[in-house]
Amino acid sequence: MSTLKGKRALVTGASRGIGAAIAKALAAEGASVAITYERSAEKAGEVVREIEAAGGKAVAFAANSADPQAVRGSIERTVAELGGLDILVNNAGIARQGSVAEISLEDIDALLNVNVRGVILASQAAIAHLPAGGRIISIGSSLGERVPFGGVTVYSATKSALRSFNAGLSRELGPLGITVNIVQPGSTDTDMNPADGEGAAYQKGAMSLGEYGTPEDIAAAVVFLAGPGGKQITGTTITVDGGAIA
């Protein structure tokens, strides 16, 4: 398939898990892909090599999404390395647990800096480079819409913030022909939340389908929004959660 042939994409935080799956899926559709990572240079290199082995083009570079200069620099480097930017996928995100009464200021700042400020700054920096037909796709969480248990309140608030940012940015960029959307995973089998981990049985019980999703499930939704089928979809959220918030 080559629905994204000639497109240039940046996927933040893509050395593993959902981000890696998104990068590979975009490349499989013909896009040239840049990925960022914070510390996992070896894993990022593996993603690049896998894409190149399949005949695609990929580059990777370190960029901490909590660092404003690094976030803005990742956009500029992508443009320099790939010759432009058509698709920005704000995937980088962190999770910190703790009740509101107990969560530390350090964890609050980390969540806000990566999950909210990092997305805003990357999107802001991308605007000057995205052409008509460009895409901004952010990876949210079903916990940004519904919080069925305690201990994730601040994390959930950061993902909820993306929903209003997404709606407003879609209004601002619509006249330029740029779409802005969120893909909202539910329980997805990754290192952060393995399908055989603690609490997995509870999460499966909350789903209509009763099974964890895979990173590839999330990537498929991103590819759809990035491609021709997503040209009339903006300011909205696609939830991929097996029916957990139905």
Quickly list DSSP for 89-124.
EE---------TTT--HHHHHHHIIIIIIHHHHHHH
Catalytic residue among 37, 155, 202, 212: 155
- When pLDDT is averaged across residues 77-88 and rounded to a whole number, the result is 98
Backbone angles phi, psi at 188, to 5 degrees: -130, 135
- When pLDDT is averaged across residues 52-68 and rounded to a whole number, the result is 97
Helices (H) and strands (E) in the chain, counts: 8, 7
Residue 155 designated active-site? yes
7 pLDDT tier (thresholds 50, 70, 90): very high
Give 193's DSSP letter.
B
pLDDT, averaged across the chain: 97
Which pLDDT score is estimated for 1?
Answer: 66
- When pLDDT is averaged across residues 210-234 and rounded to a whole number, the result is 97
**Quick one: CA dihedral 150, 183, 33, 23, positive or negative?**
positive
Nearest CA to 116 out of 93, 143, 141 is that of 93
- When pLDDT is averaged across residues 158-171 and rounded to a whole number, the result is 98
Which pLDDT score is estimated for 26?
Answer: 98
3-class DSSP state for residue 73?
Answer: helix
125 pLDDT tier (thresholds 50, 70, 90): very high
- When pLDDT is averaged across residues 112-141 and rounded to a whole number, the result is 98
pLDDT above 90 covers a percentage of the chain that reads 97
Give yes or no for a contact between 51 and 24, defined as CB atoms under 8 angstroms apart.
yes
Which pLDDT score is estimated for 138?
Answer: 98
C-alpha separations of 159 from 6, 72, 80 in Å: 31, 21, 30
pLDDT at 168 over 70: yes
Give yes or no for a contact between 109 and 126, defined as CB atoms under 8 angstroms apart.
no
Which pLDDT score is estimated for 192?
Answer: 86
Residue appearing with tokens 């097996």 = 242
Distance CA 39, CA 64 (A): 8
